[in-house]
Amino acid sequence: MHPNLSDILGAGQKPSFHSSPMGSMLGNLPSFDPHNFSQLRPSDPSNPSKMVPSTYRPTHSRTLPPPDQVRATEAKNILIGNIYQRAEEKLRSKRAATEHLIPEHGCKQTRPSTS
Amino acid sequence: MFKTNNVASRIFERQIRTPAPGTSVHSARRFYENLVPSFTIYDVECPDHSFFKFTDDGQYFVCFSRNRQDLIVYRPTWLSFSCKGEDCDNNQELPPQAKRFESFFTQLYVKPLASCNELICKDFFLYMESNQYGIFATSTAQIQDARGTDGAILGVPSFEKITIHIFRLEDGFKLDEKVFHNDCVNLTHNMGAFLYDDLLAVVSLRYQTIHILQIRDSGNLVDVRAIGAYCREDDELFLNSSSQLAGNRGDLVDNGTNHDQPNSNNSFLSGIKQRLLSFIFREIWSEETDQTQRVQCLKKKFYFHFQDYVDLVILKVQFLDRHHLLIKFGSVDVGASRNTDQLPAFFAVYNMETTEIVAFYQNAADELYLLFERFCDHFHATSINSMYMNFISSHSNNIHALEQLKSMKNKATSVSQFVKKMLSSLPLNCQSMSPSPYFDQSLFRFDEKLISATDRPRQSTDHPIRFISRRQPNILKFKIKTGPEFGGADGRSKKYSHFLFHPAWPLALSFIQPSLFLPPSAVNIHFRR
């Protein structure tokens, strides 16, 4: 009994046989999701041939990223990021104590917990 | 990755199999298990120079003349010799012309570095790999009775002229220099300077200023900023204009006192001292909610120690990234005293762009120690260009080094003393560790007391130093023997040995010194035959 392709992929996922917008040298091959490679940006400006997707396309529907999300490498290295995070945590826990709000350093980004 | 230990079959395996993602350098390094510097040429006759260091890319070998006036640069090569006769391959003895220093090193040039009354600081060298520029320092003798000048703090020795030189190592062409007059920069083991990419930070201890210089591609040294009395470029203008205003009002009383140095005459502290004190104040302020408690807290923790905080001096600096500095503050006496553990020291993370202090730690702070333990690699701040720097074993990237650290911590009698001792190495010295794969803890196990990636002279032993493979436990890969096993004619006299490993080749030099202040009595070459 040959399983249906949609059964394998799960409900809600349909194999897409639209032509890939990549237009690769190999011709128009069927793709799983034609939007997967539509938004690419070079991962490193000095090396433009290495492309990474600028948006994260999940293959499941359990946790969906917000629609306007853009992936980018964090400018600060992990040590500096940690130092700032701890400083902000101290500030947050004592925010009630401070009369003057200390201005934020740049914009807040949600970060996964590193501890 | 490799299934066998035989180098030929490893090469075949390499042809057909790709290493796991991100491990290509690690699997390439495993070939160093097969190619080891096991052959030694003892007591090589070599020119009487002060041999200093291989550059981190292995292209140059930097030496100074014995009188510390000239720079001598060699190009490391590999020996080649011809042999006449039938059974050359199996000949155990190398021909005598192969056993010379010159068969491994080709002299490129000798250039004068220090002028007549100056000496080269023979412990100072920074290498900018991207352009192959070398940074050296020369200084005049210490001035014995240094008079206090404007802006200089007391208790710090003074040198009439300290010069930082940039040379293009390829041909020894001098590109630029920066001179510090009547100043003091701690030049031993690169302590007073830090190179990150193209930025060079130099700490002027006497004037309490961190000079940030940029090395352009042309080799010119450009002043970027000077952090100390001023933080931003226009601070001096602002402070002078406001002090002029105050001076005008007081002009009737005192006859226009000189307001050039705001620190000496003005009633407020400026520059980095102001940033530091206000950060400490705000931290203590935000600890308590109750107003009276808050004031009590401030009295106890801040005002009681106010003068101590004001008297703190900048001791050492390193880059954490292009915008952040880790600054060590301490008391002036640290420069003179050897026992730095007992004196208080503080660390601050300073953002040069926003001119704000981001964090402030005591020298026994657990928080800073945890960051050091987890992210030690990032304290060895390097640019992305030098890839091999990411592979220097530290307790943050190597499980064996981490186990060693944890066992030291468990054996320590007092945790806070242990933390203080570990943090006393911060800020780290720039380019102080050898990138040689023979010091990679995941490849070899060796006695860190006898030899390690930080090249300093150590007391030598009569026994050879053993490098044991990690992956095949208890199998000895090679030994470094520095001399005859029985100690020689002097019997029990103490000797010091010092090693220089080439960053990529199975080549190492060892130097035997009868004392730390005398030139080496023997030089050995260890290489793969």
pLDDT of residue B404: 92
Q: Do B286 and A76 touch (CB under 8 A)?
A: no
* Cα B158 to Cα B152: distance, rounded to the nearest angstrom: 10
**B43 close contact with A: CB closer than 8 A:** no
Closest CA to B138 of B75, B220, B70: B70
* Residue B199, strand partner residues: B196, B214
**B39 close contact with A: CB closer than 8 A:** no
pLDDT of residue A16: 43
* Residue B225, strand partner residues: B212
**B285 close contact with A: CB closer than 8 A:** yes
pTM equals: 0.81
Q: Do B371 and A94 touch (CB under 8 A)?
A: no
The residue written with tokens 């009383």 in the block is B253
The alpha carbon of residue B377 is apart from the nearest alpha carbon of chain A, in Å, by 9
Residues from chain A contacting residue B347 (CB–CB below 8 Å): none
Residues from chain A contacting residue B279 (CB–CB below 8 Å): none
Q: Do A102 and B359 touch (CB under 8 A)?
A: no
Closest residue to A86, CB basis, from B289, B324, B367 = B367
Of the residues A44, A73, A83, the best mutation for testing chain B's interface (the one with the most B CB atoms within 10 Å of its CB) is: A83
| Nearest C-alpha in B relative to A115 | B374
Whether B145 contacts B160, CB under 8 Å: no
The alpha carbon of residue A41 is apart from the nearest alpha carbon of chain B, in Å, by 20
Amino acid identity of residue B143, one-letter, is I
Whether B438 contacts B33, CB under 8 Å: no
Q: Do A77 and B378 touch (CB under 8 A)?
A: yes
Residues from chain A contacting residue B357 (CB–CB below 8 Å): none
**A82 close contact with B: CB closer than 8 A:** yes
| Strand runs labelled E in B332-472 | 345-351, 356-362, 444-445, 458-459, 465-469
Closest CA to B54 of B404, B512, B434, B407: B434
Q: Do A78 and B375 touch (CB under 8 A)?
A: yes
Angle (deg, nearest 10), helices B366-374 and A78-93: 150
pLDDT in tens, B6-27: 999 999 999 998 888 878 888 8
Low-confidence ranges of chain B (pLDDT < 70): 87-92, 145-146, 148, 245-267, 334-342, 383-386, 484-493
Closest residue to B320, CB basis, from A80, A87, A97 = A80
Amino acid identity of residue B321, one-letter, is D
**B282 close contact with A: CB closer than 8 A:** yes
B286: which 2 tokens?
A: 């935000």
* Cα B247 to Cα B263: distance, rounded to the nearest angstrom: 14
pLDDT of residue B94: 80
Q: Look up the ipTM and state it.
A: 0.82
Residues from chain B contacting residue A79 (CB–CB below 8 Å): 320, 371, 375, 378-379
- Phi-psi group of B339: left, alpha or beta (phi > 0 → left; psi -120 to 50 → alpha; rest → beta): beta
User: How many CB atoms lie under 10 A from the CB of residue B129?
Assistant: 19
| Beta strands B105-112 and B70-76, pairing class | antiparallel
Q: Which residue has the higher pLDDT, B274 or A30?
A: B274
Q: Do A87 and B367 touch (CB under 8 A)?
A: no
What CA dihedral angle connects B402, B407, B408 and B413, to 10 degrees? Answer: 140
pLDDT of residue A108: 44
pLDDT in tens, A40-82: 666 666 666 666 666 666 677 777 777 777 777 777 888 999 9
Q: Do B371 and A83 touch (CB under 8 A)?
A: yes
* Cα B472 to Cα B286: distance, rounded to the nearest angstrom: 55
**A52 close contact with B: CB closer than 8 A:** no
Q: Do B371 and A76 touch (CB under 8 A)?
A: no
Of the residues A47, A80, A94, the best mutation for testing chain B's interface (the one with the most B CB atoms within 10 Å of its CB) is: A80
SS3 B76: strand
In angstroms, the first-to-last Cα distance of chain A is 49
Of the residues B366, B375, B387, the best mutation for testing chain A's interface (the one with the most A CB atoms within 10 Å of its CB) is: B375
pLDDT of residue A28: 75
| Nearest C-alpha in A relative to B322 | A76
| Strand runs labelled E in B256-388 | 313-319, 324-330, 345-351, 356-362
The alpha carbon of residue A67 is apart from the nearest alpha carbon of chain B, in Å, by 30
What CA dihedral angle connects B462, B464, B470 and B471, to 10 degrees? Answer: -150
Q: Do B286 and A83 touch (CB under 8 A)?
A: no
Q: Which of residues 336-395 of B touch A (CB under 8 A)?
A: 349, 354, 356, 358-359, 367, 371, 375, 378-379
pLDDT of residue B509: 93
